[in-house]
């Protein structure tokens, strides 16, 4: 979790071996709506995901799918990058997040969630959580709209701040005193008037 160098170095090595030696174990068809048991971890890398689009796993809700389910030599054109999501259920909670990245070191039942996605299901302090149920579903969403609960950048239509809601960097909220605040750093709903490292006032 949160080890950027290891993830990207492994991904680069995996891509090189894939090209040189072939795909190894792959799946010609994505097994949609077939629940499977497994485990989840989290990461917080920022850069270009395996689907070829910019990602920020510290502030966006997304998932890195296990390497076993990727079926093309060039992951940018893989079917998993074509509007596919993963639905995850744990401890009575369910989320659906788009596939935006690949986890080279994950087994077929292991998914690597972005930090805010993981936080919706369990405390990041746990690191690794077993006993989850997950499946591939259609409708990966718009990569340009990563599920930001705040109004990105502007004050018009900014939602009321809610404790316990994940706010990525750049989210703008309206506090109960009537003022607006922008998240300087992603956070799980810290009070803007108390946690001033995470928030700063926004003039509207």
List, for residues 155-194, the tens digit of each pLDDT value.
777 889 988 777 777 788 899 999 999 888 777 788 999 9
CA distances from 204 to 153, 173, 178 (A): 11, 11, 11
- What local confidence, expressed as pLDDT, does residue 6 receive? 34
Please report the pLDDT score of residue 75 as a whole number: 79
User: How far from each other are the two terminal CA atoms of the chain, in whole angstroms?
Assistant: 37
Is 148-204 the same fold as 4-138?
no
Q: Are 116 and 123 in contact (CB under 8 A)?
A: no
- Residue pointed to by tokens 């369990």: 122
Cut 0.85: pTM above it: no
Domain boundaries, the chain: 4-138, 148-204
Q: Based on the number of CB atoms within 10 Å of its own CB, is 165 exposed (0-12), middle (13-18) or buried (19 or more)?
A: middle
112 strand-pairing partners: 41, 64
pLDDT at 30: 87
Residue partners of 130: CB distance under 8 A and separation at least 6: 38, 39
pLDDT at residue 100, rounded to an integer: 93
Instruction: Please count the other Cβ atoms lying within 10 Å of the Cβ belonging to residue 153.
Output: 13
* Confidence check: pLDDT of 11 > 50: no
148-204 fold: Seminal Fluid Protein  PDC-109 (Domain B) (2.10.10)
Determine the CATH number of domain 4-138: 2.40.40.10
In this structure, of 59-68, 100-109, 116-125, 139-148, the range with the lowest mean pLDDT score is 139-148
């Amino acid at each position: 979790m949160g080890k950027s160098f290891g993830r990207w170095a492994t991904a680069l090595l995996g891509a090189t071996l894939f090209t040189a030696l072939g795909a190894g174990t792959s799946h010609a068809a994505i097994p949609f709506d077939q629940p499977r048991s497994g485990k989840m971890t989290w990461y917080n890398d920022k850069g270009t995901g395996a689907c070829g689009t910019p990602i920020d796993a510290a502030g966006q809700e997304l998932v890195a799918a296990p390497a076993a389910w990727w079926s093309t030599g060039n992951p940018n054109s893989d079917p998993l990058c074509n509007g596919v999501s993963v639905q995850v259920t744990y401890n009575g909670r369910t989320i659906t997040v788009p596939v935006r990245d690949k986890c080279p070191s994950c087994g077929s039942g292991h998914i690597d969630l972005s930090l805010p996605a993981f936080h919706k299901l369990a405390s990041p302090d746990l690191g690794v959580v077993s006993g989850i149920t997950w499946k591939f579903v259609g409708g990966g969403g718009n990569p340009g709209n990563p599920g930001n609960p705040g109004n990105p950048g502007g004050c018009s239509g900014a939602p009321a701040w809610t404790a316990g809601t994940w706010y990525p960097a750049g989210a703008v909220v309206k506090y109960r005193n009537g003022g607006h605040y922008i998240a300087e750093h992603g956070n799980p709903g810290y009070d803007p008037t108390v946690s001033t490292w995470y928030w700063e006032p926004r003039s509207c």
